[in-house]
Amino acid sequence: MDNNLESDWNKLLYKISEDFDVNADLNGTLLLIGIQERGKGFQEKYSKEDKMDHINLAICKLLMKWKYYEMVGFDDNEWPIFKKSKMVPPFSKEKEELLLKSSIVEYFKENDYLEV
């Protein structure tokens, strides 16, 4: 990870940890994005399935920026429906994590949560 991304990632994790009184990590950050994008507000308890649904929502939303997905509507439960625009290349675990971290940092910068 380049120094700027690593620095921004660590700042973001620290800010989330402080603001939400949690030990922030990649999956927790994806969960927060999913909750934000779902637009239904925060709940005290989420089932494992709900957490995974929110994380998947976040990943699709983040990969929209790279044109891998596009949102095409909503289902009966008001969940966004995405379709693949192009195949996601078979990244190594390290490159996949780097792409997600970079996209997450950009997401929080664009939403004025993390200073540019």
Q: Give pLDDT tens digits for 17-40.
A: 999 899 999 999 999 999 999 998
Nearest to 62 by CA among 97, 18, 15: 97
What's the pTM value of the predicted model, to 2 decimals?
0.90
Tokens of residue 35, six digits:
């909750």
Q: 1-10 burial, b if ≥16 CB within 10 A, otherwise e?
A: eeeeeeebbe
Residue that the structure tokens 């379709």 belong to: 83
φ, ψ of residue 101 in degrees (nearest 5): -60, -45
Checking if the pLDDT of 51 tops 90, the result is yes
Checking if the pLDDT of 2 tops 80, the result is no
